[in-house]
Chains A and B, each alone.
Chain A
Amino acid sequence: MSDEGQKNGNAYESQFPTCKACGRIIRNDPERAPICEDCREKFIKYPFPKKIVIPSVIVLILVAVITIMRFPQALQAGIHYERGMRAMKSHAYVTAENNLKLALAQYPESPEILSNLTLAYYENGKVQDAMAVYDKMADENMKIEDDAVYQRLDNLMKEVSAVYNIPEEYMKEHEAVMALPGDERARKLRGYASQYPESVYIRYFLADVLFDLKDYDEAKLYIDGILQMVPDYIPARSFLAAIYREKGEFDKAITVCNDLIQRNSESVYALAALSRIELKRFNDAKSLEYMERALEIAPDDLGTLVDLAMSYFYNNRQQELTATLQKIEVHPEKADYQDDIQKLKDIFEGRLQWR
């Protein structure tokens, strides 16, 4: 509140008006307070009292110290979180994942970051990472306030439960089934699939075996069944695209891939699938375009590097192929991709006629 406290002029006026502060004779000016110029200057610089200034400065220093220590990291985390959330909204899940991971480094206990990171991981096909983050939230009883995120996580968990609900009886036999030759393995798995028709895992595994046996129609039957149970299951959709590709139904395969890209505009697996479709129909340059896009999105993803190497091979880009193979050789996740790397070698050395 500010007040016009001094009534100007008349009350103090005598024959010779004087300064109300020092008593000096002043010139009469009814528009201004009756003070001399020296006192005016003094009152203009009315001091801030020490009892106010000193605590204020202490508080400001305290605030400045706290702010300098905490604000830059909070702002950085906030910016990464915002970028992550914008990317989530535009279905750019790799960008979302990268930014949310950076925000999480500053605030590892934030349910907002963890819940969205779970979704981003899952959309990028990183189921194990998604589950690790989800388990952390569950272990610490974190509350998710955003209803839409909560609903998506709930759906995700239902999907994961459906996919990874492996019958105990089969689990005991898994190693033995794995050791069987292809035809025998398929026969055994058909038995389990009819015994446990709701098991997505068995159906998916069987479809995979049938795919290797080039029985694409039966493989599609099982994948269609899975998609009826869990319509949004990304690996099954990618698998469907591969089946269409091998059957020569390229348009259908491309439609499936485009659906995946609509769901995740940075879907490197969809881009890799498109690349393989183009290779299969001898559009090698187009295939490389897709893989270069995938490489821009996920330059360190081993799966991307493997498909890129294949594309370089068919495009006769020997120099780039050698560099990519060197990257694959030293990649920390190499052990997880042994089958794909072996398949690649078989193609390069002519042991496998892929197209």
Chain B
Amino acid sequence: MLYLGRLIAWLTFPGVIVHEMAHQLFCRWLKVPVFKVCYFQFENPPGYVIHESPQEAYKNLLIGIGPFFINTVLGGLIAAGGAIPQLKFHSSSIFDFFLIWLGISIAMHAFPSTGDASTIWESLKKPNTPLWLKIVGAPIVLAIYVGSFLSIFWFDLIYGAAVAVLVPNLLISIMA
């Protein structure tokens, strides 16, 4: 199971890279110093970003969940180009399969890791964190842990595939 998990991580390496780049981008936007980035490695974890722990808890939250938005949107948009012809019309073009693979790879790495969750949790526990942020942040931390647990059942892959299918369907439904 562990080997299979690693194999999936290797096969979907673009998603790991985008995930770490998203963390790094959010650090830059929120003016948080970054000390080291590993975009991909053949070990666990497959990628990481070492940055300063910001004083404001909301920055920790945004840095933690940033990849969720970036990977989801980017993965969905890339997959859409291939998913419409493939899923709706059974086109068998290699380009469509390439876009679907890339889109799913990116979207399936959207979920923050438990490491991200624990960093967010630590910042939420600080006494100077506003109450509203604790209320918003706690369910997010819980959702990350649940997502992490469900990844045993390939929830991340299911999520990636769902994004690849839902985004084009949503686009078409809105525009039709």
Contacts and interface: CB of A to CB of B under 8 A. Distances in A.
Interface of A: 1-6, 8, 31-33, 35, 39-40, 43-46, 48-49, 52, 56, 59, 63, 66-67, 70-71, 74-75, 77-79, 81-83, 86, 103, 107, 109-113
A295 B33 CA distance: 69
Contacts of A83: 176
Q: Please tell me the size bucket of the interface on B.
A: 35 or more
Contacts of A78: 84, 88, 168, 171-172, 176
Contact of A66 (B39, B90, B95, B171): B95
A44 B33 CA distance: 4
A183 B85 CA distance: 58
Contacts, number: 143
Nearest to B92: A109
Task: Provide the main secondary structure of the chain A interface.
Answer: helix
Interface of B: 14, 17, 20-21, 23-24, 27-28, 31-37, 39, 45, 47-53, 55, 63-64, 78, 80-82, 84-85, 88-91, 93, 95-96, 98-99, 102, 113, 115-116, 119, 122, 168, 171-173, 175-176
Given A44-B27, A66-B81, A2 B116 contact: yes
B81 A71 contact: yes
A326 B132 CA distance: 74
A6 to B, nearest CB: 6
The 8 closest A-B pairs by CB, nearest first: A5-B50, A43-B33, A46-B34, A110-B89, A4-B53, A82-B176, A107-B89, A74-B84
Contacts of B122: 4
Given A4-B51, A107-B91, A74 B33 contact: no
A49 B38 CA distance: 10
Nearest to B120: A2
A46 B119 contact: no
Contacts of B81: 63, 66-67, 70-71, 74
